[in-house]
Amino acid sequence: MNKDTIEGNWNELKGKVKEQWGKLTDDRLDEIAGRRDQLAGEIQQAYGISRDEAEKQVKDFEESTKR
């Protein structure tokens, strides 16, 4: 899955994102609107992890949702 895919399928993926990272609010997810870099930043802040770890989690999520 690439950047365009996560943005293009955001409405479908938003529920899965919410399951994966429950601390992210619906309002924040609406603001992220599928932008990968913003998603990683929100995960980093919400969970108090490094940017590298947040990026890794997003990458792993993308891999798990490939169609």
- In this prediction, residue 9 carries a pLDDT of 81
CATH dotted code for 3-64: 1.10.1470.10
Judged against a pLDDT cut of 80, whether residue 6 lies above it is answered with: no
Which runs of E-coded beta strand occur in 9-62? none
pLDDT digits (tens, 9 = 90+) for 7-62: 778 888 899 999 999 999 999 999 998 899 999 999 999 999 999 999 999 999 98
Domain positions in the chain are 3-64
Judged against a pLDDT cut of 80, whether residue 2 lies above it is answered with: no
SS3 23: coil
Give the C-alpha distances (Å, rounded to integers) separating 64 from 20, 23, 38, 60, 61.
11, 20, 19, 6, 5
Nearest to 6 by CA among 50, 64, 54, 48: 64
